[in-house]
C-alpha cells in the first residue's frame, strides 16, 4: 500500500503538484489559540490541516541538578497517544514519539530562549522546572514542526504561579511570564525523488526518502538539526534544504506575534 502511495505521490510531483494541491514550499493554513487549558500555566491549541495538537506547560519547584545549582530545568515530552492515529499504540513511548520529543526539546533548549539562570529561586535548593507536554489529538504529519510551534506559543502564554513559602499555589497565577528571549522555529524539509517539500502530510512523510529538520532563530542562526529517512543527502541537498527551512521559518514566526 505504501508503495502505491509512493508512486502516486511521485507521479504527481513530477507534474509539480502535491495530492492536496499545495505548492512544494507551502504550509497548510495554521491556527493557534492560546490559553485554552485552565489547568496548565500556559497552553496552545494548534490546527494545521488535519493535524491538531495541544501543548501545555506545567511548572514545578524542584531541586537543581548538582552540576548546575543555579539553573532551572526544561523538559519537552511528546505523547503520541492512540486517540490521534490508528497506528499509535498504548505502551511505553515509541521511537517516533521519542524523536519528536527530543528534536523539539533540542530546538527550544539550544535556542537559549529560556534564561535558565532566571528560573533559579534559591541557588542549590529551589528552581523552577518547566515541563512542556505536546499531545496531538489527530495526526496528519509534520508533528515536529507543529509540536515545536505549539510549544513556543504555549511558553509565551505561560504565567508563573504564586510561590508561598517555597510551595506552589497553582490556584493563583502571577502576571510574571517566563524569561524568554527567542522564538525558535523548527522546519522539516522532506526529499521525495528530486523534490523538496515542507509541511509533509502523513502520507508524504511516510514515503519520503530523507528529511532534515532545521531549528533556527529570527536572525537565521541554526540551533538544532536532525536528519531522518533511509536515503543519504549530498552537501548540495543540505544547502538547499536549509535555505528552504529558513525561508519557511520566517513565515511561521509571524504566527507567534
Taking CB under 8 A as the binding criterion, the range among 37-45, 141-149, 179-187, 220-228 that sits at the site for other proteins is 37-45
CB of 247 to other proteins, least distance (A): 30
CB of 127 to other proteins, least distance (A): 15
Which cell goes with 253?
514566526
Query: For residue 120, what are the β-bridge partners?
Result: 127
Q: Which of residues 184-243 bind other proteins (CB under 8 A)?
A: none
Taking CB under 8 A as the binding criterion, the range among 56-64, 107-115, 142-150, 176-184 that sits at the site for other proteins is 56-64
| Distance, CA of 99 to CA of 80 (rounded, Å) | 11
- Is 167 one of the binding residues for other proteins (CB under 8 A)? no
Taking CB under 8 A as the binding criterion, the range among 32-40, 205-213, 220-228, 233-241 that sits at the site for other proteins is 32-40
Interface pick for other proteins out of 10, 126, 131, 195 (rule CB under 8 A): 131
CB of 121 to other proteins, least distance (A): 17
User: What three-state secondary structure class fits 105?
Assistant: helix
Q: Are 35 and 125 in contact (CB under 8 A)?
A: no
- Is 174 one of the binding residues for other proteins (CB under 8 A)? no
Angstrom CA distances, 158 to 32, 35, 128, 129, 179, stand at: 15, 8, 13, 13, 10
| Distance, CA of 211 to CA of 208 (rounded, Å) | 7
- Is 95 one of the binding residues for other proteins (CB under 8 A)? no
Listed residue (149, 175, 173, 160) closest to 45, CA to CA: 149
Interface pick for other proteins out of 105, 116, 133, 204 (rule CB under 8 A): 133
- Is 135 one of the binding residues for other proteins (CB under 8 A)? yes
Interface pick for other proteins out of 81, 250, 251, 253 (rule CB under 8 A): 81
| Distance, CA of 238 to CA of 53 (rounded, Å) | 29
Listed residue (169, 152, 151) closest to 160, CA to CA: 169
- Is 84 one of the binding residues for other proteins (CB under 8 A)? yes
- Is 138 one of the binding residues for other proteins (CB under 8 A)? yes
A 10 A CB-CB count for 79 gives 16
Number of residues located near other proteins, criterion CB under 8 A: 32
User: What three-state secondary structure class fits 257?
Assistant: coil
Nearer to other proteins, 10 or 36 (CB): 36
- Is 137 one of the binding residues for other proteins (CB under 8 A)? yes
Cβ neighbourhood burial of 91 (10 Å; 0-12, 13-18, 19+): exposed
Angle, CA of 89, 80 and 199, to the nearest 5°: 125
Interface pick for other proteins out of 13, 30, 32, 37 (rule CB under 8 A): 37
Q: Which residues bind other proteins (CB under 8 A)?
A: 36-40, 43, 50, 52, 54, 56-58, 60, 77, 79, 81-86, 90, 92, 131, 133, 135, 137-140, 168, 170
Amino acid at each position: 500500500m505504501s508503495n502505491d502511495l509512493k508512486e502516486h505521490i511521485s507521479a504527481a510531483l513530477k507534474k509539480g503538484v502535491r495530492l492536496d494541491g499545495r505548492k512544494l514550499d507551502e504550509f497548510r493554513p495554521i491556527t493557534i489559540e492560546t490559553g485554552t487549558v485552565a489547568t496548565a500555566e500556559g497552553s496552545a491549541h494548534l490546527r494545521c490541516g488535519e493535524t491538531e495538537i495541544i501543548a501545555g506547560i506545567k511548572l514545578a519547584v524542584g531541586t537543581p541538578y548538582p552540576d548546575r545549582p543555579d539553573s532551572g530545568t526544561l523538559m519537552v515530552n511528546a505523547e503520541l497517544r492512540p486517540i490521534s492515529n490508528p497506528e499509535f499504540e498504548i505502551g511505553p513511548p515509541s521511537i517516533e514519539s521519542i524523536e519528536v520529543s527530543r528534536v523539539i526539546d533540542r530546538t527550544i533548549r539550544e535556542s537559549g530562549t529560556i534564561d535558565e539562570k532566571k528560573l533559579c529561586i534559591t541557588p542549590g535548593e529551589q528552581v523552577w522546572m518547566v515541563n512542556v507536554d505536546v499531545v496531538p489529538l489527530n495526526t496528519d504529519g509534520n508533528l515536529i514542526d507543529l509540536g515545536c510551534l505549539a510549544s513556543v506559543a504555549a511558553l509565551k502564554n505561560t504565567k508563573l504561579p504564586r510561590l508561598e513559602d517555597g510551595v506552589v499555589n497553582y490556584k493563583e497565577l502571577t502576571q510574571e511570564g517566563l524569561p524568554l528571549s527567542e522564538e525558535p522555529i523548527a522546519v522539516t524539509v522532506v526529499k521525495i525523488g528530486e523534490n523538496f517539500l515542507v509541511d509533509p502530510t502523513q502520507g508524504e512523510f511516510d514515503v519520503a526518502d530523507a528529511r532534515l529538520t532545521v531549528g533556527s532563530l529570527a536572525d537565521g542562526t541554526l540551533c538544532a538539526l536532525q536528519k531522518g529517512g533511509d536515503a543519504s543527502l549530498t552537501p548540495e541537498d543540505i544547502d538547499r534544504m536549509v535555505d528552504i527551512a529558513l525561508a519557511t521559518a520566517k513565515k511561521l514566526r509571524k504566527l507567534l506575534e
